[in-house]
Amino acid sequence: MNHKRPRSVLVLVHSPDRQILLLERSHFPGFWQSVTGSQEGRERPIDTAVRELEEETGIRAAASELCDWRLSHRFAIYPQWRHRYAPGVTHNVEHLLSIRVPVDTPVRLAPDEHRAWHWLPWRQAAREVFSWSNRAAILMLVQRPSVCPYGG
């Protein structure tokens, strides 16, 4: 079995007016999140972010269009997902990146991963996501708008 690496990305997709694109997981209805995914092979976090963004939403972007926050969180892997990792792996390191796109950007979901999507104002999105790291990223987007060269 190929195990997932315990290194991943969270890509916060947002509009210029701070609406947040959220995706609902197919196998866990009610679990809303930003784009996420594990690094593969020797991928750098920015490469993983570009790949996952396209796989999960159909949004194609160059690495230069994403903002690498140079911030990561270490957290316990939810028990329902630990079987994907090597035995004994209980924690993951998640790198935070973001991209700003218009709300009319077409979204095409990967149905095996996500069942629905919607744009929400940042406050509502922060309440709706199930992950504390996703919530923290949304709040940081508003608190630290200068983190990205495009103004966050």
CATH of the domain at 86: 3.90.79.10
Confidence of residue 151 (pLDDT cuts 50, 70, 90): very low
List pLDDT tens digits, range 120-136: 999 999 999 999 999 99
Phi, psi of 53 (to 5 degrees): -60, -45
- Domain range enclosing 59: 7-147
List pLDDT tens digits, range 83-114: 999 999 999 999 999 999 999 999 999 989 99
Q: How many domains in the chain?
A: 1
For residue 150, pLDDT beyond 70: no
Rounded alpha-carbon distances, angstroms, from residue 97 to 9, 114, 141: 7, 20, 11
For residue 149, pLDDT beyond 60: no
97 assigned to some structural domain: yes
119 assigned to some structural domain: yes
Confidence of residue 146 (pLDDT cuts 50, 70, 90): low
* Mean pLDDT for the chain overall: 93
2 assigned to some structural domain: no
